[in-house]
A = this chain, B = another copy of it.
Amino acid sequence: MTIANRKQREKEEMRQLILSAARSLFLEKGYYDTSIRNIAEKIEYSPGTIYLYFKEKDEIFHSLHEEGFRKLTAVMLPLQHVEDPFERLKALGKVYMDFAMNNKDFYDLMFIMQAPMNLEEEDCWEEGDKALDFLKIVIRECQDRGRFQGQDIEYLSFFIWSSMHGMCALYCRDRCNAYKHHNHLNLLNNGYKIFAQMLDKM
């Protein structure tokens, strides 16, 4: 038992080694400009070795995608303890935006990158669905307390998500440069303030 366990543990460690090398390279150079050879070189293994742990380059991406959603749900779940659903909604926006700013690479991976969506038909979005459900539930509870009356939860959640995503996406893909004389983080923080005001008045 012990040896088989160790083998399995080593296998998992190797996967993690590859993933962390890939993640830092994807962050640095982007998905398409990072080669398998780059990753192999970084961890001082041969290119072929990567393929003993991942079927293809896309699968590395896929793994990081899942990791990203685990990270996101991890920072979202504590908000369950915020009693007032409207406060929870606003806090959710903040947490979401902070996640994007603090994990630019993961955010890009999860919500922007055009990448191997061939795989992720079924399984991959499980974690993503959780996050979206969290938003919908908050909105529903807001409605129970009289807010957002007459709005369809599906469409409203889409719009609220989009408002936040829009800012994060412009940030991640450097389109904030359009505001030449503004600090990007300032743009986002003030954008969030307007977002919160907007929710208040809806």
Contact = CB atoms under 8 A, between A and B. Distances in A.
Given A112-B173, A201-B202, A179 B154 contact: yes
Contacts of A95: none
A120 to B, nearest CB: 9
Contact of A167 (B114, B158, B167): B158
Given A132-B178, A165-B169, A159 B194 contact: yes
A187 B158 contact: yes
Given A202-B198, A202-B201, A167 B159 contact: yes
Given A155-B190, A164-B166, 7 more contacts: A111-B170, A111-B175, A114-B174, A159-B163, A159-B194, A159-B195, A166-B166
A115 to B, nearest CB: 9
Contacts of A166: 161-167, 169
A114 B177 CA distance: 13
Interface in A106-125: 108, 111-114, 117, 125
Interface residues on A, range: 35 or more
29 contacts: A32-B32, A111-B175, A112-B112, A113-B173, A125-B178, A132-B178, A151-B194, A152-B190, A154-B179, A154-B182, A155-B187, A155-B193, A156-B194, A158-B167, A158-B170, A158-B179, A158-B190, A159-B167, A159-B191, A159-B194, A162-B163, A163-B166, A165-B169, A165-B170, A166-B166, A166-B167, A169-B169, A197-B202, A198-B198
